[in-house]
Structure 1
Amino acid sequence: MSESILTVETDGPVATLTMNRPEKRNAMNDALLDALDAFFAAPPPGVRVAVLAGRGGHYCAGLDLSEHAERDAEATLLHSRGWHAALERVQLGGLPVVSAMAGAVIGGGLELATATHVRVADATARFQLPEGRRGIFVGGGASVRVGRILGPDRMTEMMLTGRSYGAEEGLSLGLAHYVVEEGAALAHAQELAHRIAGNAQLSNYIVIQALARIGDMSRGDGLFTESLATAIAQTSPDAREGLAAFLDKRAPRFR
């Protein structure tokens, strides 16, 4: 994995990944996508949570259009499917991922952010899907992930007009979960990451795996899957420890 395009720093159970293309506002090229995919395919031993940020005051300005212009229809189809595979690994690879968002969270950057589980925006964050204004269409999963957050009506308007939402608007729409002052997103994201790392790992894993899938199911299938997840989580050693710690009024000591 290239240290020049994606830096990884670990602090105990938390790894902070920083996209490092500041001259491009961290626009996503193939090398950066491959580096992210490689990390989530095989996280370092002991890492329980990842924080994802961008260098230079921007999270990610989306697809690097200089690469897009060189692809024909077949290559574009395969490239889109490559994005889908990589972002599935971010969302469902097993690690909770916290985004620290500033500046541009645009197009593919918003697709990446909505594949993460907790999103912290600073006051400079701007959310946009400008593809409709550029004669193209989303290809990294926005029609599913962003569409389910905003609803198809709002997403259609956003793509047709190229409208940009600020941090507080993004919070109200669900694109961000927290808004903090300018420059504070990374510290807050890391604080949340350490808190999440203190949870039982099995519980974190089931939350990540079950809820996204239940959202795709019928009501009956979802309720049955919830019961299965409950049976696994609540009969684990960590669940017994969590209950004992609550009754003893102490912090749990999970495996």
Structure 2
Amino acid sequence: MNYENILLSIEDGIAHLRLNRPAKRNAVNNGLLQDIEAALDGMGADATVVVISGEGAHFSAGLDLSEHQVRTPFEVLQHSQWWHRVFHKVQFGGRPVVAALHGAVVGGGLELATSTHVRVAGRSTFYQLPEGQRGIFVGGGASVRVSKIIGPDRMTEMMLTGRRYDAEDGYRLGLSHYLVDDAEVLPEAFRLARQIATNAPLSNWASINAVANIGDMSMANGLYTESMAAALAQSSDEANKRMQDFLNRKKG
């Protein structure tokens, strides 16, 4: 399938989804969201891990303000919930997603990035939530995802002041998990994707779904859910085979 705003390729089980609006710094508009959602929905079993990157000098500079339109409160609510739905599919769609970040990771671009599971940043990367300066509020999940990573207090300050964090700051705060030279961002992202693809699929699924949901639960409910996820993963045929292979290697 051809897309207007992204490029998609799948090779050896790794899907590469590239935001392809470089003239707009990969700013997020309706068309880009539609293409991301369609690509995620259309991926078959041949795609086990996804790498998301941005074409050109930036990952994504956020909401495309050039396409701003006046909406009623209900229309804004529905539009925000659409962003939530798409980024929920990134986070909970069943496939591990690795983000390859460089340049601007701003506003909606940061909301997309923080819906992924593993984030590799180049040294040109910078992070910002400029919505306060635009007279708007985040609507793509930042108040949940970014806030969980850096804390509500720091996110509030970030929005009030328009503060920009550089790549080192982002790595220190957890906005990225890896920090490498820009030329190494994609190679490192694909190295990690290939490594993740060797995991048992059920283990990957549990890592994606159970951990995030347990974080929203009480201690008692979280521990119960952990036990249920462990029961599913550890009783599978593949888990038994992998454990036997591991034990046999140790004996050898």
Q: Which position in structure 1 is the counterpart of 2:196?
A: 196
Other structure's SS at 2:147 match? helix
2:112 aligned with 1:121, yes or no?
no
Correspondence list, 1:197-216, <5 A: 197-216=197-216
Q: Provide the rounded CA distance (Å) in 2 between the counterparts of 1:76 and 1:116.
A: 24
- Quick check: 1:98–1:119 contact (8 Å CA) kept in 2? yes
Q: Which position in structure 1 is the counterpart of 2:104?
A: 104
- Quick check: 2:8–2:16 contact (8 Å CA) kept in 1? yes
CA positional deviation for 1:231: 0.6
TM-score normalised by length of structure 1:
0.95
Other structure's SS at 1:4 match? coil
What residue identity is the alignment partner of 1:64?
Answer: D
Q: Provide the rounded CA distance (Å) in 1 between the counterparts of 2:128 and 2:169.
A: 11
Q: Which position in structure 1 is the counterpart of 2:247?
A: 247
- Quick check: 2:10–2:16 contact (8 Å CA) kept in 1? yes
What residue identity is the alignment partner of 2:142?
Answer: A
CA positional deviation for 1:2: 4.1
CA positional deviation for 1:73: 2.4
CA positional deviation for 1:249: 2.2
Other structure's SS at 1:143 match? helix
Cα displacement string for residues 16-45 of structure 1 (whole angstroms, at most 9, x for unaligned residues): 000000011000010110111112223133
2:7 aligned with 1:7, yes or no?
yes
- Quick check: 1:100–1:121 contact (8 Å CA) kept in 2? yes
Correspondence list, 1:220-235, <5 A: 220-235=220-235
Q: Provide the rounded CA distance (Å) in 1 between the counterparts of 2:112 and 2:131.
A: 15
Other structure's SS at 1:183 match? helix
Q: Which position in structure 1 is the counterpart of 2:177?
A: 177
- Quick check: 2:129–2:159 contact (8 Å CA) kept in 1? yes
User: 220-229 or 57-66, which moves further after superposition?
Assistant: 57-66
Correspondence list, 1:29-44, <5 A: 29-44=29-44
Aligned length: 250
Other structure's SS at 2:127 match? strand
2:61 aligned with 1:61, yes or no?
yes
2:114 aligned with 1:76, yes or no?
no
Cα displacement string for residues 164-206 of structure 1 (whole angstroms, at most 9, x for unaligned residues): 1111110110000000002221111011001101110011011
Other structure's SS at 2:18 match? strand
Moved over 4 A (4+): none
CA RMSD of aligned residues (A): 1.2
Q: Which position in structure 1 is the counterpart of 2:219?
A: 219
- Quick check: 1:150–1:174 contact (8 Å CA) kept in 2? yes
- What runs of 5+ residues in structure 2 fail to find an aligned partner? none
Q: Which position in structure 2 is the counterpart of 1:26?
A: 26
- What runs of 5+ residues in structure 1 fail to find an aligned partner? 251-255
Q: Which position in structure 2 is the counterpart of 1:143?
A: 143
Cα displacement string for residues 40-99 of structure 1 (whole angstroms, at most 9, x for unaligned residues): 223133110000000002111111112233433222111101000111111001010000
- Quick check: 2:3–2:35 contact (8 Å CA) kept in 1? no
Q: Which position in structure 1 is the counterpart of 2:45?
A: 45
Q: Which position in structure 1 is the counterpart of 2:164?
A: 164
CA positional deviation for 1:9: 1.2
- Quick check: 1:68–1:76 contact (8 Å CA) kept in 2? no
